[in-house]
A and B are shown apart, each in its own frame.
Chain A
Amino acid sequence: MTELFPSSVEWFSVITLLWPGLLNTLWIAAMSLILSLAGGVLYAVASRSRFALLRLAMRLWLEAMRAIPLLVWLFLVFFGLPLWAGIDFSGSTAAILVFGLWGSTEAGEVFRGALRAFPEAQWEAAACLGLSERQIYRHVVIPLLIRQTVPPLMNVATRLIKTTSLTILISVVELTKAGQQIIERDDNALFIYGLLFILYFLICYPLSYCSGILERRWQQG
């Protein structure tokens, strides 16, 4: 059995090996978050469309993402799409695509809820103060929508970050994979996985903590 805690020299090599993995994790999470936000807006608008077919399509998209595990989608896109469609993805691209498609429905549901609960009465109150439409949006509607959507969107972001760890199963060198490589070399699994555990927690916990705080503070209104 090896030492549980490495020496300072090993620390240095651990960090230099983990660092690119960490960056890749954050890169995948950031890209899929951007994709999710853009896709989420499209999803929300399409879900409220006049065309029943479009609404049905959005509904199917949502159900497909919710019913079938994300890992299955990841496998289908990473292993399947190159065969069926002849498109070759890097693991990171496949991950960003799948997480983006999934996040779009999650963020989209948040946006849809916000649109449905549009602050009609607040709009009227602002109109009665003689504000123009633009001023109403700027001073009242948009701040209210932000309060309503930001906390749940932060939760979506947290889940996206956690989910990036799945990419190890399609051999992307992100944080977890980088850790695995170190273990293969050094055979100190407990330490490295413990470190990864703490690292993920340190990234995710502040996000979900802030989300909770904001939600509680903003809900009073």
Chain B
Amino acid sequence: MDWQFMLEQIPDYLSAIGVMLAVGGAAVFLALLIGGVFASLLQDTSPLIRAVICSYIEVARNTPLIIQLFLLYFGLPAVGVLLPPELCAVMALTFMGGAYFTEVFRAGFSALSEQQSQASYALGLSRFQTFRYILWPQVWQKQLPATAATACFLLRETTVVSAITVAEVMYTTTNGIAIYYMTYEFLTLMTISCVLVFVPLSIALNQLEHRWRHD
């Protein structure tokens, strides 16, 4: 093991972790927005909108992320759309994550009693107010562990975007192996980086779920 060499790679890996967290964080944020809007829309709108959202969920959940990435990155140029890989990565992760978050929130809504919104209307609140002050706080509270778990899942999936040359940890690793042939060193760096990022995340998630279950 060439420690000196590994030390020299640390800045690269730090920036790789930064890229991973930035891409993952942006995707989680956007996917949460999509999930929130779609789950609200699913509550009551025209059957058409519901059908569209449900089809979106099925398509996003039943296709691999990597194909979604390839379609955006390699496929779109065929119709004249050239996007930077980081943007493709965020888009694909958002596309997939939005569907998962919609599912999480939908489950939260369906666990709520219908009388909650009726009680709210009876108090003279508008539909928007009912969602804002009565339904969403309860859904959010109830589904926080599931939401956090989905966010962690999305961050883990971020490793896949290395497939379209986004310079995150996995890409830096394969690239390094290809250039320097120092497989040991790069695999070790990859493992350390991933353990540093994902293990604390996972521990925090477990704590959260544990606390929720006992409340």
Q: In their complex, do chains A and B touch, with some C-beta pair under 8 Å? A: yes
Closest CB in chain A relative to B6 CB, distance in Å: 15
The contact size tier of chain A is: 35 or more
Contact A71 B159 (CB under 8 A): yes
Judge if B68 is at the interface, Cβ distance under 8 Å: yes
Q: Cα distance A67–B197 when bound, in Å?
A: 10
Q: Cα distance A176–B160 when bound, in Å?
A: 14
0 or 1 for each of B74-104: is its CB under 8 Å from A? (1 = yes): 1111111000000000000000000000000
Residues on B with C-beta less than 8 A from A200 are: 62-64, 67
Judge if A68 is at the interface, Cβ distance under 8 Å: yes
Contact A66 B202 (CB under 8 A): yes
Q: What residue in chain A is nearest B62 (Cβ atoms)? A: A204
Residue among B59, B70, B183 making CB contact with A201, cutoff 8 Å: B59
Q: What residue in chain B is nearest A1 (Cβ atoms)? A: B78
Q: Cα distance A80–B71 when bound, in Å?
A: 30
Q: What residue in chain A is nearest B59 (Cβ atoms)? A: A201
Judge if B190 is at the interface, Cβ distance under 8 Å: yes
0 or 1 for each of B170-213: is its CB under 8 Å from A? (1 = yes): 10011001000001100100110011001101100010000000
Binds B, one of A11-19, A121-129, A187-195: A187-195
Q: What residue in chain B is nearest A162 (Cβ atoms)? A: B64
Residues on A with C-beta less than 8 A from B184 are: 83
Interface of chain A, helix or strand or loop or mixed?
A: helix
Contact A79 B163 (CB under 8 A): no
Closest CB in chain B relative to A60 CB, distance in Å: 12
Contact A69 B67 (CB under 8 A): no
Judge if B61 is at the interface, Cβ distance under 8 Å: yes
Judge if A30 is at the interface, Cβ distance under 8 Å: no
Contact B159 A63 (CB under 8 A): no
Binds B, one of A37-45, A89-97, A140-148, A164-172: A164-172
Residues on A with C-beta less than 8 A from B80 are: 1
Residues on B with C-beta less than 8 A from A70 are: 156
Q: Cα distance A169–B194 when bound, in Å?
A: 17
0 or 1 for each of A176-207: is its CB under 8 Å from B? (1 = yes): 10000001000011110110110011001100
Judge if B157 is at the interface, Cβ distance under 8 Å: yes
Residues on A with C-beta less than 8 A from B190 are: 72, 75
Contact B170 A189 (CB under 8 A): no
Residues on A with C-beta less than 8 A from B177 are: 79
List B43-65 residues whose CB lies under 8 Å from chain A. Answer: 58-59, 61-65
Contact A201 B194 (CB under 8 A): no
Instruction: Mark B residues whose CB is within 8 Å of A.
Output: 58-59, 61-68, 70-71, 74-80, 156-157, 159-160, 162-163, 170, 173-174, 177, 183-184, 187, 190-191, 194-195, 198-199, 201-202, 206
